[in-house]
Amino acid sequence: MAPIIQVSLDVTSIDEALDLAGAAVRAGVDWLEAGTPLILAEGLHSVEALREAFPEHPIVADLKTMDGAGLEAEMMFKAGANMVVVMG
């Protein structure tokens, strides 16, 4: 099985994240990670924008959430994330 390449979009604007994600996808990246700084700065909109721009790529929402993880994960899934990072 081939390795999966993931890029972490640890930026604070949707526009910069979309630019970086586009370059990463063109370079062959498999998974896109909405990094913690992006989610903190832009919220659910960052995941929605990535999903709209890259409908075929898995999206990881790097929430690093603890309390309320179920609700927060559900919100990210509804926004288009395939996976969510939860602290334990």
Check residue 1 and give its pLDDT: 92
Check residue 88 and give its pLDDT: 64
Asked if residue 61 lies in contact with residue 47, where contact means CB atoms within 8 angstroms, the answer is: yes
25 CB-near residues (< 8 Å, 6+ apart): 32, 54, 57
* Segments of the chain with pLDDT less than 50: none
Phi, psi of 78 (to 5 degrees): -65, -30
- For each of the domains in the chain, give its residue range(s) and CATH number, in order of start: 6-86 (3.20.20.70)
CB atoms within 10 A of CB 64: 12
**Which sequence positions are flagged as catalytic?**
64
